[in-house]
Amino acid sequence: MKFRLASSPHQHIRRDTGQVMRLVILAMIPGVLLQTWFFGWGTVIQIGLAIITAVVTEAAILELRKRDFERALKDYSAVLTAMLLAVSIPPFAPWWVIVIGTFFAIGIVKQLYGGLGFNVFNPAMAAYVMLLVSFPVQMTQWIPPVNLAQYSHNFMDALNAVFTGFSVEGFSLAQLKTGIDGVTMATPLDTVKTGLAQGFTYSETIERPIFDSVISGLGVASSWISLGYLLGGLYLLKQKVINWHIPLSMIAGLFICSLIMSLVDSDLYPSSLFHLFNGSIIIGAFFIATDPVSASTTNKGRIIFGAAIGVWVYLIREWGGYPDAVAFAVLIMNMAVPLIDYYTRPRTYGHSSSKRKSKDKAQS
Amino acid sequence: MNEFKELSWQGLWKNNPALVQLLGLCPLLAVTATVTNGLGLGLATTLVLIGSNTTVSIIRNWVPSEIRIPIFVMIIAAFVTIVQLLMNAYIFTLYQALGIFIPLIVTNCAIIGRAEAYASKNTVGKSAFDGLMMGLGFTLILVLLGAMRELLGYGTLFDGANLLLGDWATSLKITVFETDSPFLLAILPPGAFLCMGLLIALKNVLDSHMERLFAAKAEEKVVQRARVTTES
């Protein structure tokens, strides 16, 4: 028999921050690839711009704060924030939109609060909301998926469109936005929201070409992209980078709300499937709401945090002014995190729970 | 004279109503979308502050302390009305641009705060000077905040200065960069909060920097003194 001696520490941290961040970036790749497939090279260009801005901003501010910026840059958190923001904005948005957004995310939301680990709000989502509020025109110019667009575009077109607003052949963004039938196309969520406001029923609005013809209510591009991110999210779950609590409770929150309302009136309230696979629910549930810094830190708290995000998303999507709401919901719940954490502190080993204590008191 | 120097220092920097006392935030955040608006409201507030401080100081020995607050408020309201009518008469467009925030100067805590904390205990000259300095300190921050937000939001500076200063001021407008899509966050109140936070942070940085400088100087002096004693 052989005794293997190992010196302390016996408990290891399995991964450092950099490894976790790199795994999350790796898990984003299927979704990003699908997004590039459907919306062209614009996505990749935006990611590139965002990463450059994020790294430069982070390095500059850390230098100002007299911190070791090499170590901070190697943890890839700035890169991940940049990627999350870049995939959320329209692929052909002008270059300064993503530059301002990333600068805001890293400089204001993250570093001014004290850097990684101290930020109250999710940097990518705070920057997204800032951009959406500040530049409503640029932030809603989603081009139609490649198979529905009137004009095809290659890498050079995308590069030109991002920097000048026109493709190589001189098509303006407004022209690139038109679908096969020459009509400007909205995103699935926007299509349904406008359609319902105009008095159409839900089943009529999902007849439009942006929706899949086989499974009703799924957007042509958005459902595939969501599946891509779902794949990445499941990989993260398997690698134990994230816990199941937040994604599951967030999806459940939205699912239950939409199920109840669509059972009440299926003409006015879209189906659960529509809500889950359009917009940014899947990437939100697996990649955004699970941010270890700004999310709740207890297991019970995570369930409350996720479920409340799901409910908020539903409320804002149905009765709010914007078609999608993941960013708003995440920010609202970020504000509630200290409260949630306070009330869901787990029992310390060796101490009795507060419920037990009151029972003990009653007995004595 | 030293008292006046101290008052200026307090009003403009050390006890600045906007940056340190954080009083009068409502107009501060609401109207400072441009330099002109900030300057207009700042000057109006300064006038009211000087007037109310002087009057409160004159009558300070006859006001029963139980009902001093209502009396102060009535004095302030009278001066605000005067300023409002004057603005209505002479700078009408700016009067319209500032809208409800001119009558709301009455509720600016900085004014009643100065009346209560300083003017009701000090002589007329000092009180008037205190009002002037506090008002200038407030105006300074309004203008700075307005400049930050106008620059970020519209890419210009001193746009519409002619509303306040007359037609010659049209040429004051500086276009730093052209933009078709104004940066709405800077123009909306949240941007004012962000810029205000940055200004306060900047002031704290400067303060700690100065403190370090003075501390270093003080230390040097101690060293010199020590050497003198060893020599003797």
Residue A32 near residue A47 (C-beta atoms within 8 A): yes
ipTM score assigned to the predicted complex: 0.79
Higher pLDDT, A137 or B226: A137
Q: What is the phi-psi region of residue A350: left when phi exceeds 0, alpha when psi lies from -120 to 50, beta otherwise?
A: left
Q: How far is B183 from chain A (nearest CA, A)?
A: 5
pLDDT band at A68 (very low <50, low <70, confident <90, very high): confident
Nearest CA in chain B to A94: B181
When CB atoms are compared, the residue of B181, B185, B194 closest to A133 is B185
When CB atoms are compared, the residue of B181, B188, B194 closest to A135 is B181
Inter-chain CB proximity A133 and B194 less than 8 Å: no
**So what's the pLDDT on residue A353?**
65
Please list every residue in chain B whose beta carbon sits closer than 8 Å to the beta carbon of residue A133.
Answer: 184-185, 188, 190
Least confident segment among A6-20, B31-45, B149-163: A6-20
Determine what percent of chain A is predicted with pLDDT higher than 90: 43
A149-to-A27, A140, A186, A227 alpha-carbon distances in Å: 28, 17, 12, 22
Inter-chain CB proximity B184 and A137 less than 8 Å: no
pLDDT band at B225 (very low <50, low <70, confident <90, very high): low
pLDDT band at A13 (very low <50, low <70, confident <90, very high): low
- Is the pLDDT at B227 greater than 60? The verdict is no
Is residue A358 packed enough to be buried (19+ CB in 10 Å), middle (13-18) or exposed (0-12)?
exposed
Count the domains in chain B.
1
Inter-chain CB proximity A134 and B183 less than 8 Å: yes
Residue A89 near residue A118 (C-beta atoms within 8 A): no
What are the residues facing B174 on neighbouring strands?
B157
- Amino acid sitting at position B149: R
Please list every residue in chain B whose beta carbon sits closer than 8 Å to the beta carbon of residue A138.
Answer: 181
Inter-chain CB proximity B181 and A130 less than 8 Å: no
Please list every residue in chain B whose beta carbon sits closer than 8 Å to the beta carbon of residue A130.
Answer: 185
**So what's the pLDDT on residue A286?**
94
Please list every residue in chain B whose beta carbon sits closer than 8 Å to the beta carbon of residue A136.
Answer: 184
Q: Supply φ then ψ for residue A118, to 5 degrees.
A: -115, -10
Nearest CA in chain A to B187: A134
**Quick check: helix, strand or coil at residue A179?**
strand
First to last CA, chain B: 39
Higher pLDDT, A284 or B159: A284
CA angle B46, B47, B53 (to 5 degrees): 85
Please list every residue in chain A whose beta carbon sits closer than 8 Å to the beta carbon of residue B188.
Answer: 133
Q: What is the phi-psi region of residue B188: left when phi exceeds 0, alpha when psi lies from -120 to 50, beta otherwise?
A: beta
**Pairwise CA distance, residues A45 & A291, whole Å:** 24
Determine what percent of chain B is predicted with pLDDT higher than 90: 28
**So what's the pLDDT on residue B170?**
76
Joined tokens for residue A224: 């595939």
When CB atoms are compared, the residue of A130, A133, A138 closest to B181 is A138
**So what's the pLDDT on residue A180?**
67
Q: With b meaning 16 or more CB within 10 Å and e meaning fewer, what string describes A166-188?
A: ebeeebebeebbbbeeeeebbbb
Closest CA to A144 of A100, A210, A206: A210
Summarised one tens digit per residue, pLDDT across range B64-113 is 989 999 999 999 999 999 999 999 998 888 888 888 888 888 888 888 88
- Is the pLDDT at A64 greater than 90? The verdict is no
- Is the pLDDT at B230 greater than 60? The verdict is no
Q: How far is A135 from chain B (nearest CA, A)?
A: 7
Inter-chain CB proximity A133 and B188 less than 8 Å: yes
**So what's the pLDDT on residue A150?**
73
**Pairwise CA distance, residues A317 & A279, whole Å:** 10
- Is the pLDDT at B228 greater than 60? The verdict is no
**So what's the pLDDT on residue B165?**
76
- Is the pLDDT at B153 greater than 90? The verdict is no
Inter-chain CB proximity A108 and B188 less than 8 Å: no
Summarised one tens digit per residue, pLDDT across range A287-310 is 999 998 899 989 999 999 999 999
Summarised one tens digit per residue, pLDDT across range A215-272 is 777 877 888 899 999 999 999 999 888 999 999 999 999 999 999 999 998 888 888 8
**So what's the pLDDT on residue B29?**
83
- Is the pLDDT at A208 greater than 90? The verdict is no
Residue B41 near residue B102 (C-beta atoms within 8 A): yes
- Is the pLDDT at B8 greater than 90? The verdict is no
Residue B145 near residue B191 (C-beta atoms within 8 A): no
Summarised one tens digit per residue, pLDDT across range B162-191 is 777 777 777 778 888 887 788 888 888 888
Residue B186 near residue B152 (C-beta atoms within 8 A): yes
> Under an 8 Å CB criterion, which residues of B touch A?
181, 183-186, 188, 190, 194
Inter-chain CB proximity A135 and B188 less than 8 Å: no
pLDDT band at A360 (very low <50, low <70, confident <90, very high): low
**So what's the pLDDT on residue B232?**
47
**So what's the pLDDT on residue A230?**
94
Other beta carbons within 10 angstroms of residue A303's beta carbon come to: 22
The domain in which residue B81 lies consists of: 2-231
Inter-chain CB proximity B181 and A137 less than 8 Å: yes
Task: Give Dmax (Cα) for chain A.
Answer: 85
B82-to-A194, B86, B160 alpha-carbon distances in Å: 51, 6, 24
**Pairwise CA distance, residues A321 & A89, whole Å:** 18
Joined tokens for residue B179: 């933009």
Summarised one tens digit per residue, pLDDT across range A306-339 is 999 999 999 999 998 888 889 999 999 999 999 9
- Is the pLDDT at A363 greater than 70? The verdict is no
| Axis-axis angle for helices A95-103, A123-134 (nearest 10) | 130
**So what's the pLDDT on residue B4?**
85
Determine what percent of chain A is predicted with pLDDT higher than 70: 93
How does the average pLDDT of chain A come out, rounded? 86
Least confident segment among A41-55, A189-203, A304-318: A189-203
Residue found by looking up tokens 């990611």 in the block: A47
**So what's the pLDDT on residue A356?**
58
